[in-house]
C-alpha cells in the first residue's frame, strides 16, 4: 500500500454516474476521497467512475474480503463512508459501522435495498403504501393478482432501479408475461432476478423527493413531478421531471410523509431519493434509495436553488454540525422553473458518431443548460423502453414553463439526428 496521504479522507462506495460530483465537493472542504468498488468488475449498465479523481482505490471482491478491506482503510482514518449509487448502499452501511463513523447501520440495510422489505417496513411504521406479494413462480404472482381481484397491478424486480423491467398489468395474461420477463432478466446491478414483486397499482401522480441528512436532521433538496408515457407493453416511460413549488400544499404533504419514511428506514445520514405517488388517500411510497438522485446535475440544481445535493451531502458528512446549523430542517428555494428531459428514440444500431452540429443546436436552445449524451460512439442505440435506454438527458431552466416546453418539443424533433448509426435504421 502507498503511504497514506495527509489530511482527512472520505470513502465513496461505487461512485458511478453523477456521484462523481462528490470528489470536487469534498475537495472544496479539504477532504480527499477514496474509492471502493463493491464488485470485482465495474457494472456494465452503469457509467463508471473517474478513478483519477480519487486519492486511492480499492476493490471488495465479496463478503469474505470485507474485513481485509476495513483494515486496509483504517490507516487513512476515514471520517465518513457514503454510497455513490444504489449498489454501494449495503457495503457503505457495513464499512461505516465497522470503521466507527456516522452510519445508517447494517440492521436496516435490507429495508433500504429490498423493495418488498422496504414497503413492509414503511407499513409497519403506520404509513400508507401499496399492497404487495413476492414470489419466484409466475403462477403464484398471477394467482395473487387474480385473488386480489382488482387491476391494474405493478410487476417489477425486487431490487433494481431506473424503471428496469417495471410493468403495469391489466390482465392475468399480462401479469404472467411480466413475471416471466422479470425472472429472465438481469438487474441494473448485474444480478439475476430470482423473485418477482407484484404490487397494487397506486393511482395518482408520481413525485420525487430528494433529501440530505445528518444525525437525523433532514434538508429537502427538491421535489419533482414525474411526467410519464405508458408504452404498449405496459412499461412506464419517464419523460420529464418537473420542479415543484416548495410552498404548494401537495409538496408540503409529500415532504411530511417522506420525512417519516426516512425515519422508518433508518436514514439518518447522507442523501435520500424517494419516489412517491400522491393518491386520493395521500402519499404512498414507491421506493427510496439511500443515495443521490441519478438525474441530479450540480449546475442545473444550483441554477434554481443556489446549491446541490452532492455539496450538501459532502457538508453533512464532513462538517455535520455546520450542516445541521445551516440546513437542518430546511426546504429548497426555487428561483426559476427547472425540468429534466429524458429524451426517447425509436432507432436502433451501433453508434458510429455524434452529429455535433445537431448537438450544438440543442445545446444552444434558450432554456437548455446542459445536454448529456448517454449513447456515445461505440455503444448501441436501442428503442427507449426505460430510463437506461434514454439516449439524451437534457437539463432546462427558465422563467416560464412555456419556454421550457417549447424547447422540449424541439429536442424531441432533433434527438434521433444526434446519432450516426450503422445497422438497422428506423
For residue 139, give the H/E element and its range.
helix 138-148
pLDDT tens by residue, 90-103:
999 999 999 999 99
> Taking the domains of the chain in order of start, what are their residue ranges?
9-103, 131-200, 336-426
CATH number of this structure's domain 9-103:
3.40.50.20
Q: Is the pTM of this model over 0.85?
A: yes
| CATH T-level topology, domain 131-200 | Dna Ligase; domain 1 (3.30.1490)
Q: How far apart are CA 212 and CA 221, in angstroms?
A: 7
b or e along 333-367 (b: 16 or more beta carbons within 10 Å of the residue's beta carbon)? ebeebbbbbbbbbebebbbeeeeeebbebbeebeb
3-state helix, strand, coil in the chain (%, to 5): 35, 30, 35
pLDDT tens by residue, 336-369:
999 999 999 999 999 999 999 999 999 999 999 9
Q: Indicate the average pLDDT of the chain.
A: 92
Grid cell, residue 403, equals 419556454
pLDDT tens by residue, 199-250:
999 999 999 999 999 999 999 999 999 998 877 776 778 899 999 999 999 9
Q: How far apart are CA 374 and CA 207, in angstroms?
A: 24
Q: What pLDDT does residue 87 have?
A: 87
Return the CATH class of domain 336-426.
Answer: alpha beta
Amino acid at each position: 500500500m502507498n503511504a497514506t496521504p495527509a489530511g482527512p479522507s472520505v470513502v465513496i462506495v461505487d461512485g458511478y454516474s453523477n456521484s462523481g460530483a462528490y470528489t470536487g465537493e469534498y475537495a472544496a472542504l479539504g477532504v480527499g476521497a477514496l474509492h471502493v468498488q463493491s464488485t470485482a468488475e465495474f457494472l456494465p449498465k452503469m457509467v463508471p467512475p473517474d478513478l483519477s479523481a480519487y486519492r486511492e482505490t480499492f476493490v471488495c471482491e465479496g463478503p469474505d474480503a470485507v474485513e481485509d478491506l476495513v483494515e486496509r482503510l483504517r490507516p487513512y482514518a476515514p471520517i465518513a463512508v457514503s454510497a455513490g449509487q444504489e449498489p454501494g448502499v449495503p457495503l457503505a452501511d457495513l464499512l461505516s459501522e465497522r470503521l466507527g463513523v456516522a452510519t445508517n447501520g447494517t440492521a436496516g440495510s435490507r429495508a433500504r435495498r429490498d423493495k418488498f422489505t422496504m414497503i413492509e417496513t414503511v407499513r409497519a411504521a403506520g404509513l400508507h403504501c401499496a399492497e404487495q406479494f413476492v414470489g419466484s413462480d409466475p403462477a403464484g404472482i398471477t394467482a395473487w393478482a387474480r385473488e386480489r381481484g382488482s387491476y391494474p397491478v405493478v410487476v417489477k424486480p425486487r431490487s433494481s432501479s431506473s424503471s428496469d423491467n417495471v410493468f403495469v398489468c391489466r390482465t392475468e395474461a399480462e401479469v404472467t408475461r411480466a413475471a416471466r420477463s422479470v425472472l429472465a432478466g438481469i438487474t441494473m446491478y448485474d444480478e439475476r432476478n430470482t423473485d418477482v414483486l407484484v404490487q397494487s397499482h397506486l393511482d395518482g401522480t408520481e413525485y420525487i423527493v430528494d433529501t440530505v441528512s445528518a444525525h437525523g436532521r433532514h434538508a429537502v433538496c427538491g421535489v419533482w413531478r414525474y411526467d410519464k408515457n405508458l408504452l404498449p407493453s405496459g412499461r412506464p416511460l419517464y419523460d420529464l421531471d418537473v420542479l415543484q413549488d416548495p410552498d404548494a400544499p401537495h409538496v408540503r404533504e409529500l415532504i411530511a410523509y417522506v420525512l417519516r419514511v426516512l425515519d422508518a428506514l433508518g436514514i439518518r445520514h447522507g442523501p435520500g431519493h424517494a419516489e412517491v405517488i400522491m393518491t386520493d388517500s395521500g402519499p404512498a411510497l414507491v421506493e427510496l434509495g439511500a443515495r443521490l438522485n441519478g438525474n441530479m446535475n450540480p449546475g442545473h440544481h444550483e441554477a434554481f436553488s443556489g446549491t446541490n445535493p452532492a455539496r450538501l451531502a459532502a457538508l453533512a458528512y464532513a462538517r455535520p454540525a455546520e450542516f445541521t446549523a445551516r440546513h437542518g430542517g430546511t426546504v429548497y428555494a426555487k428561483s426559476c422553473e427547472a425540468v429534466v428531459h429524458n429524451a426517447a428514440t425509436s432507432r436502433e444500431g451501433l453508434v458510429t458518431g455524434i452529429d455535433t452540429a445537431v448537438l450544438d443546436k440543442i445545446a444552444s436552445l434558450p432554456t437548455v443548460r446542459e445536454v448529456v449524451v448517454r449513447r456515445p460512439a461505440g455503444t448501441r442505440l436501442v428503442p427507449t423502453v426505460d430510463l437506461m435506454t434514454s439516449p439524451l438527458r437534457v437539463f432546462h431552466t427558465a422563467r416560464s414553463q412555456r419556454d421550457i416546453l417549447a424547447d422540449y418539443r424541439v429536442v424531441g424533433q432533433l434527438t434521433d439526428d444526434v446519432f450516426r448509426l450503422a445497422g438497422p435504421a428506423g
